[in-house]
Structure 1
Amino acid sequence: MLSVHAAVVFLAAVIIGLVMGGLMFLHDKSVPTAVAAGLGSFGLSVPVLHKLIG
């Protein structure tokens, strides 16, 4: 089970990853670039959101 804090952090990180991936896809029309940007922004936003929200 996840705590509410962890669930909020992961949900916000997923939303950020989806938005960044979508924007990269609209810009480059390349799926691998969009996936890499989405995963990268998800991974980088988790620790930042953990500090900001917690």
Structure 2
Amino acid sequence: MPQHNETEKLLSQRATIILLLGVLAATAATVLTVLAGGTLASGLLAGGGAFTAAVLLFNTIIS
């Protein structure tokens, strides 16, 4: 079997940074919602919305 020394990247650096920032925004929104007295379910919904908005925002900003 031939072995390839080249490693194929699953994601580009740009995509990785954008998704990481989205996860950080979602985590912050979830934690803040729960700490403000919301339920975990509402925190997760807020986190999902924050993730979507952050990915769209950072995809536009980072070129």
Deviating 4+ runs (over 3 angstroms): none
Residue segments in structure 2 that go unaligned for 5+ positions in a row: 1-9
CA RMSD of aligned residues (A): 0.8
Question: Normalized against structure 1, the TM-score is what?
Answer: 0.93
Deviations, residues 17-46 of structure 1 (Å, cap 9, x unaligned): 000110000002410110000011001111
The separation in 2 between residues aligned to 1:32 and 1:17, in whole angstroms, is: 13
The alignment status of 1:13 with 2:22, answered yes or no, reads yes
Give 1 or 2 for the bigger CA radius of gyration: 2
Residue segments in structure 1 that go unaligned for 5+ positions in a row: none
Which is worse superposed, 13-22 or 26-35?
Answer: 26-35
SS in 2 for 1:38: helix
Structure scoring higher RCO (CA < 8 A, sep ≥ 6) equals 1
Which is worse superposed, 4-13 or 21-30?
Answer: 21-30
SS in 2 for 1:28: coil
1:1-54 correspondence runs (5 A): 1-54=10-63
The separation in 2 between residues aligned to 1:45 and 1:12, in whole angstroms, is: 7
Aligned residues: 54
